[in-house]
Amino acid sequence: MNNTVVNEILSKYEVDNKVSSLTNLEKLLNFGRLGGTGRLIIYPVDQGFEHGPDRSFGINPEAYDPHYHVQFAIDAGMSAFAAPLGMIESGVSTFANKIPFILKCNSSNSLTSIKDQAVTGNIRDALRLNCIGVGFTIYPGSEYNYKLIEQACNLFREAKEAGLITVLWSYARGSMSKKGETAINIISYAAHMACLCGAHIIKVKLPTSYLEDDPTKDAFIKNNIEIDTALDRVKVIKRSCFNGRRIVVFSGGEAKNDDELLSEVKAIKQGGGNGSIVGRNCFQRTKKEALILLDKMFSIYEN
C-alpha cells in the first residue's frame, strides 16, 4: 500500500484531521485491489429502489439475492459496497468486516415522476450496521433542490460528528433538458455543489461535451475551457471539486458494452479522476463476465 498517496489525499480534508472520519476514509482508500493507489471502485446496489427489482435483476436472477452482491464485491476486490438499509441489514452479520459498507440514506423510485428522494436511513442505522460512511443523493435543478441540499448537509454534519465518511450523489434533474443532465457545464456545477455540501467523496455522471443553454454556458465559451474529449471533461470536473482537493468518482451509468466502459475508465484515470462507482454494468452481466470486465478496469487504474 502506498501510504504517501493516501496521506496526500487525507491531508486535503483539513477540518477532519483530528476526528475519526479520516480513519474511515483511510480505511476505504487502503481497502481492496486498489488499496493505496488513491483510486476506488465502489459497488452500489440501490437500483431496486430506483428502477425496481425485475428491471434491475431479471437479466441475472442470482442478483435478486443481496448476498450475491456483497460476495461479488468481495470476490472482485471492490473498495466498498454501498446500498440502502434493508440490503445491508440482510448481510451485515454474514459479511461483517469483509468489506466496508456505505449506507445509502435516501432513494427515489420510478413509480412517480417527482424529482425527489425519500430519506430511508440515518446515522444511527449506519453505526448499528458498522458502516464506514453514508451516501446521499441531491438533484440540482429539481424543484426539491433546496430541501435535498439541506438534508444532505444535516446528515453529513451528524456523520462527521460520529466519525463517518460522506458520499454525495449529485445528479442534475428537473429544470434542464434531458441532454442537459449530462452536459459538462451542468455536471461541473453539480459537482462543485457537492463539495460545498461537505462531501468527502463526490459522485457524478461522466459528462458529455454538450453545453446546456444555461447562464454557466458562456463561461466555457469565453474562457476557452477545453471539453472536446472525455479526458478534458474529467479534468474540468476534478478542477471544479476544489481544484482536485476532493475525491471524485464517476458513475458507470446505463448498461453498455465492455469497450465503451473501459474507454470511459481510461479517460477517468488519465484526467485525474479517482475512480468509478459501477453497479448495473456488473450485476446485469453474469458473474464470470462481470469479474473479467472488472479485472480490466482494475488494471487500468493500477497502471
pLDDT number for residue 1: 54
Contact of 252 with 285, CB cutoff 8 Å: no
- Residue 175's pLDDT is what? 84
pLDDT at 18: 57
- β-pairing, 106-107 vs 118-119, is antiparallel
Q: Are 34 and 275 within 8 A, CB to CB?
A: yes
Give the CA diameter of the chain. Answer: 55
Q: How many Å apart are CA 152 and CA 106, to the nearest integer? A: 9
Q: Going from the first residue of the chain to its last (303 residues), give the mean pLDDT of each consecutive group of 10, the final group possibly shorter.
A: 87 78 96 98 95 95 97 98 98 97 96 94 98 98 97 97 97 92 98 98 98 96 98 98 98 85 97 97 96 97 93
Residue 255 has a pLDDT of 74
Counting every residue, how long is the chain?
303
Whole-number pLDDT of residue 19 = 64
Residues 6+ apart with CB under 8 A from 298: 33, 34, 41, 77
Task: Specify the number of domains making up the chain.
Answer: 1
Q: Read off the CATH number of the domain in which 232 is found.
A: 3.20.20.70
Identify the burial level of 112 via C-beta atoms within 10 angstroms of its C-beta, where 0-12 means exposed, 13-18 middle and 19 or more buried: exposed
Q: Which domain holds residue 204?
A: 3-302
CA nearest neighbour of 266 among 257, 275, 278: 275
